[in-house]
Amino acid sequence: MPIFSDLDVIHIFDIVRKVYKQNKSYKNMVELNQIYKCNVCGNIVEVVHASVGTLVCCGQPMELLHPKDISQEGNEKHVPIIKKLKTKIRVRVGSKPHPMEEKHHIEFIELVVNGKVYREYLKPGQVPYAEFCDMGEHVHARIYCNVHGLWKS
């Protein structure tokens, strides 16, 4: 007979999360949809299950990527621009064209709608934009540039 039910585990996790939010000194908790990068091999991961612990790759802790925004230098080529159409949401990268070359390009465009993540992967030579089905009101976007990192709308 288990000591805790699944419901108990969920409640315990909620308590840990509340304590973490109240006391930012607890540093080993990953949160849903955070993006991490390995500074050794370049692997990039997005958290799909929040938990306690440190993400490690190549024997080292992974770096949490903090998205840059319109207030930072280079925003004209990186900040995702969201446009709602009749039945779709279009996300394009920057107000000025972004390079899509082998050594400098946008790797993905992500749309987050009501907490759900939709992603379009891009390759060098493609136009840096994506269209997604319109699924809700609470919308923001993130893009990842292989040279300048993570950006948000």
In the predicted structure, residue 78 carries a pLDDT above the cut 70 = yes
- Whether residues 85 and 39 share a domain: the answer is no
58-73 pLDDT, tens per residue?
999 999 999 998 888 8
Write out the residue range of the structural domain in which residue 82 sits. Answer: 75-152
| 82 and 60 share one domain | no
Q: How far apart are CA 36 and CA 150, in angstroms?
A: 10
Is there a single domain that holds both residue 82 and residue 138? Answer: yes
Residue keyed to tokens 């540093």: 27
State the amino acid at position 15 in one-letter form: I
Instruction: Assess if residue 148 is contained within a domain.
Output: yes
Check which CATH number belongs to the domain holding 57 and give it: 2.20.28.100
CA distance 52 to 90: 35
Same domain? 100 vs 60: no
Report how many domains make up the chain: 2
- 27 shares its domain with 55: yes
Quickly state the pLDDT bin for 25 (edges 50, 70, 90): very low
Same domain, 101 and 136: yes
pLDDT in tens, 81-104: 999 998 999 999 999 999 999 999
95 & 142 share domain:
yes
pLDDT recorded at residue 9? 47
- Say if residue 47's pLDDT is above 50: yes
